[in-house]
Amino acid sequence: MIKEFICLTAMTICATIASGCHNDNGITSVSASEFNKEITAGTAQLLDVRTPQEYAEAHIDGAVNINVQSDNFGKEAEKELSKDLAILVYCRSGRRSMDAAETLAALGYKVVNLKGGIIEWQDEGLPIVAAEAPEHSAAQ
């Protein structure tokens, strides 16, 4: 009986891990490679929820920026994003994007969260749009 229980528990844990950490609340958290596949499929909207300054420094190409820390995040999201397509959401490390994902899911969006944020994205060598360094003129 104990062996069956342990086996069933192990199978449940493996199934949960294999499912991409899907929650019943409309949020799925995925790795950078899975997130990239979702972007490449072109059937979702890409949302960067970091500050405008962070977004300007580097972001994933095609991302819309709505700061999750702003007081009107939910209203801005509803104004900018369609509920007809899933939202691919990311931040720096995955914490703020999960907060945003919970807000978006409560508003009726289907959300895919990048677990490790843009840090994981860059660690995987995936492309970003980086701010151009200002040109320096040589002293004459």
Number of residues in the chain: 140
Positive or negative torsion for Cα 88, 89, 93, 99: negative
What three-state secondary structure class fits 43? Answer: coil
CA distance 55 to 65: 7
Known active-site residue 7: no
Exactly one of 7, 14, 21, 91 is catalytic; name it. Answer: 91
| Residues catalogued as catalytic | 91
